[in-house]
A and B are shown apart, each in its own frame.
Chain A
Amino acid sequence: MKKTLKHEPIAGRTITRVIKYIVCITLAILSIMPFWIMLMNATRNTYEIQQSSISLVPSSYLLNNFKVFEGKSFNPLVGFKNSFIIAASSTLLNVYFSSLTAYALVVYHWKLRQPFFTFIMAVLMVPAQVSSIGFYQFMYRIGWTNSFLPLVLPAMAAPAVVFFMRQYLLGALSIDIVNSARIDGANEFYTFNRIVLPIMKPAIATQAIFSFVGSWNNLFMPLILLTDKKNYTMPIMVSLLRGDIYRTEFGAVYLGLSLTVLPLFIVYFALSKYIIAGVALGSMKE
């Protein structure tokens, strides 16, 4: 520490330090404020919000705001249930089959291995949007609109996750483990399920979080496929809050938004350590 004092004068150092903290704290407030205002307004009634729409403390109209939703199409419980079913099942398929494909790419020496990997790299970023019309027509013809299957099954082929899992396996799996399992007479499926999957746990946990959140937050595909109100996912439920019925019920709109955010807040603050580490890890593509 003393050495650096030679380079920069103390006063200048203090000023830059203060500036850094001011900027960081401002950005932190910017992250929190919109949600804080939302949560507080969820407990206030329309009159209070009209008087002043910013409040840092809650009021007492939470239950009244809840009652606004009665008999209306915005149903957070249904949305929560549907989103959970879709996100959980697609996450399971996503991490299991991505791990399996990555394992095939790392452990076995097969002729098409390199071409297959090149192919996965090539389709890494193909978004669902570009095929949405064909996908919709396809699902419509086989009667799968309003089914959760078209929102779950495609998760089996997630090129980006395969890529990530492969990079992880290359570093974490030693072929000796696989070989010794073979000598002990384990078949290949057993080896993968009982020996390799546990080794991949950290990578699976990271990818599972992102897969779950991604599926939970997805609006585009469910909006196209699900037309029946009882199948609506959380993001579609949220989009209903733009409707005219809620024009005058400010408190209820804020409450509706809060209800969709709360589960994510809980998950995020419980797992933030892993999520931040996962984001950093995802960048280590070199």
Chain B
Amino acid sequence: MGRKKIKSVSYAKYGYIFSIPFVLAFLVFTAYPIFYTAIIGFTDLKGLGKTDFMIMDNPFQNFQQILKTPSFQKSLINTVIIWTCNFIPQLLLALLLTAWFTNQRQKIKGQGAFKVLFYMPNIITAATIAILFNVLFGYPMGPINDLFKLLGLADMPINFLINKWTARGIVSFIQFWMWYGQTMIVLIAGVLGINPTLFEAAEIDGATSRQVFFYITLPSLRTIMLFTLVTSLIGGMQMFDIPKLFLNGGPDNSTLTVSVFIFNQAFSGSYMYNRASAASMIMFLIIAVLSAILFYILRDKDAAKMKKELKKIKKAQKAAARGAGA
């Protein structure tokens, strides 16, 4: 009996108490700054060290101007181009490696070492990598130019960093190089999560490795691939360290991304906090849409199921009550 009494003590309040630090920190350091940024977007706030502001006569002036600014449009396009050129090869290579590494018939030796090496660039400071690649592609002397000479690919040193498309290509390559290992590990984990009886059944039916991959592995990875796609897109929208430090958005704004644009607007030149805020809000909207998609992918399936069942039980109870009443 005493036991029952203890159970009946309500601990619910601790749920609130233990969540307070998170909620407070979130309100102060995330929610309030977002709100503040949104407000600044409608004001005349600019100039180093200024904090006073007034709402503009036309509150949407900053937004209109930003959307019309060629370098902002370019930064959006660049972000999409650089992200696409990095993500498609990244996913394809990761899938290929996943197929090889999970192939039970032809095991690859040293998988652990390969995984460690493929993932390694991801953990290294992006700022360091950006400057390292800048030096590696140096002109007229630099390791890549020396390599080209060594392999007989070019007679004259090439100035890689002056061409728009090679510059974009290198930024995409760096992103690809930093992230394919991560994607591969995630996909391999996904394959290991597939019900093994599926593979056994395929084995018994005499399916080839190729058939197993295309008819079992790939369809089962759909959710994980979608998850990777959306998180990569959201991450890609924030691309900053590499384009900022590799060529500072150049040449001719060809590697200028949205984040670099926002940074340069707010923290260099004329310190246009208001325009930078407007641009941030546009970026926020794009990320919100992407997050909504992610939210839908990750929604708690068990909880959703439970809810459905609860509803069913309630309905049944109601029906029973009605039946009893009648």
Which A residues lie at the B interface, using CB under 8 A?
1, 4, 7-8, 13, 16-17, 20-21, 24, 27-28, 30-32, 34-35, 37-38, 49-50, 52-54, 97-98, 100-101, 103-105, 107-114, 116-117, 121-127, 129-138, 140-141, 150, 153-154, 156-157, 159, 162, 179, 182-183, 188, 192, 213, 216-217, 219-220, 223-224, 234-236, 238-239, 241-242, 250, 253-254, 257, 260-261, 264-265, 267-269, 272, 275-276, 279-286
User: In whole angstroms, how far apart are the Cα atoms of A75 and B19 in the complex?
Assistant: 40
What residue in chain A is nearest B234 (Cβ atoms)?
A125
Q: Which residues of B contact A31 (CB under 8 A)?
A: 117-118, 120-121, 177, 181
B119 at the interface (CB under 8 A from A): yes
| A123, B26: Cβ atoms closer than 8 Å | yes
Check A100 against B18 for contact (C-beta < 8 Å): yes
Residues in chain B near residue A135, CB distance under 8 A: 29, 33, 36-37
CA distance A192 to B188 in the complex (A): 34
Identify the stretch in B132-140, B158-166, B318-326 within 8 Å (CB) of chain A at 4 or more residues.
B132-140
* Cα–Cα distance between A239 and B240 once the two chains are bound (Å): 13
Min CB distance, A97 to chain B, in Å?
5
Is B56 engaged at the interface, CB distance under 8 Å to the other chain?
Answer: no
Also in contact, A238 and B128, with CB within 8 A (given A54-B147, A108-B12, A130-B284): yes
CB of B173 to closest CB in A, whole Å: 10
Q: Is the CB of A239 within 8 A of B29?
A: no
CB pair A108 B141 closer than 8 Å: no
Q: Would you call B55 an interface residue if the criterion is a C-beta within 8 Å of the partner chain's C-beta atoms?
A: no
- Residues from chain B with a CB closer than 8 A to the CB of A100 are 18, 21-22
| CB within 8 Å of A: which B114-161 residues | 114-121, 123-129, 131-136, 138, 141-143, 145-147, 150
* A100–B36 CA distance with the chains assembled, in angstroms: 28
Q: Which residues from B are CB-within-8-Å of A272?
A: 116, 119
Asked if B259 CB lies within 8 Å of chain A CBs, one says yes
A58 to B159, CA, bound (A): 27
**A216 contact set on B, CB distance < 8 A:** 125
Beyond A24-B97, A137-B36, 14 extra complex contacts between A and B, CB < 8 Å: A7-B208, A104-B15, A108-B15, A127-B234, A129-B240, A130-B287, A133-B280, A134-B37, A135-B33, A220-B241, A265-B124, A269-B116, A272-B119, A280-B192
> What residues make up the interface of B, taking CB atoms closer than 8 Å to A?
3, 6-7, 9, 11-19, 21-26, 28-30, 32-40, 45, 49, 51, 97, 100, 105-106, 108, 110, 112-121, 123-129, 131-136, 138, 141-143, 145-147, 150, 177, 181-182, 185-186, 188-190, 192-193, 206, 208, 223-224, 227, 231, 234, 237-238, 240-241, 244-245, 259, 262-263, 266-267, 273, 276-277, 280-281, 283-284, 287, 290-291, 294-295, 298-301, 303
- Specify which of B15, B19, B147, B287 is in contact with A126 (CB 8 Å cutoff): B287
Q: Which one of A21, A122, A132, A236 contacts B291 once the chains associate, using CB atoms below 8 Å?
A: A122
Given contacts A54-B147, A279-B185, A286-B301, contact A182 B6 (CB under 8 A): yes
In the complex, which residues of chain B have a beta carbon less than 8 angstroms from the beta carbon of A137?
36, 40, 45, 51, 273
Closest to A16 in B: B106
Report whether B266 and A133 are in contact in the complex, using a CB–CB cutoff of 8 Å. yes
Instruction: Check if B26 sits within 8 Å of A28, measured CB to CB.
Output: no
Cβ 8 A contact of A131, one of B129, B263, B280: B280
Instruction: Write out the residue numbers on chain B whose beta carbons fall within 8 Å of the beta carbon of A27.
Output: 114, 117-118
CA distance A106 to B35 in the complex (A): 30
In angstroms, how far is the closest chain B Cβ from the Cβ of A79?
Answer: 11
Asked whether, in the complex, the Cβ of B123 is within 8 Å of the Cβ of A264, the reply is yes
With A20-B108, A24-B114, A132-B262 already in contact, the answer to whether A217 and B125 are too (CB < 8 A) is yes
Enumerate 13 A-B pairs (CB-CB under 8 Å) in ascending A order: A50-B141, A97-B25, A100-B18, A107-B15, A127-B238, A131-B37, A188-B11, A219-B245, A220-B263, A257-B132, A267-B123, A282-B186, A283-B185
State in angstroms the CA–CA spacing of A21 and B273 once bound together. 52
Chain B hits for A125, CB < 8 A = 231, 234, 287, 290-291, 294
In this complex, the member of B116, B182, B231 whose beta carbon has the largest number of chain A beta carbons within 10 angstroms is B116
Residues of chain B within 8 A (CB-CB) of A123 are 26, 30
Which chain A residues lie closer than 8 Å to B116 at the CB level? Answer: 269, 272, 276
User: Which residue, A13, A235, A265, has most C-beta atoms of chain B within 10 A?
Assistant: A235
| Given A125-B287, A192-B18, residue A219 in contact with residue B146 (CB < 8 A) | no
Q: Is the CB of B182 within 8 A of A279?
A: yes
Question: Is there contact, CB below 8 Å, between B147 and A28?
Answer: no
Are A104 and B18 interface neighbours, CB within 8 A?
yes
Given A34-B133, A154-B29, A260-B128, are A53 and B262 also a contact pair (CB < 8 Å)? no
Residues of A within 8 A of B12 (CB): 108-111
Partner of B33, one of A105, A138, A241, A276: A138
**CB-CB < 8 A to A265: which residues of B?**
124
Measured between beta carbons, the chain A residues less than 8 angstroms from B114 are 24, 27-28
B54 CB to closest chain A CB (Å) equals 14
Pick from A1, A28, A188, A261: contact of B128, CB under 8 Å: A261
Is B266's CB under 8 angstroms from A136's CB?
A: yes
When C-beta atoms are compared, the residue in chain B nearest to A140 turns out to be: B51
Other-chain contact of B188, A1, A250, A280 (Cβ < 8 Å):
A280
| Residues of chain B with a CB closer than 8 A to A241's CB | 131
CB B308 to nearest CB in A, in angstroms, measures: 15
Inter-chain contact B240/A109, CB cutoff 8 Å: no
Query: Considering only CB atoms, which chain A residue lies closest to B280 in the complex?
Result: A130
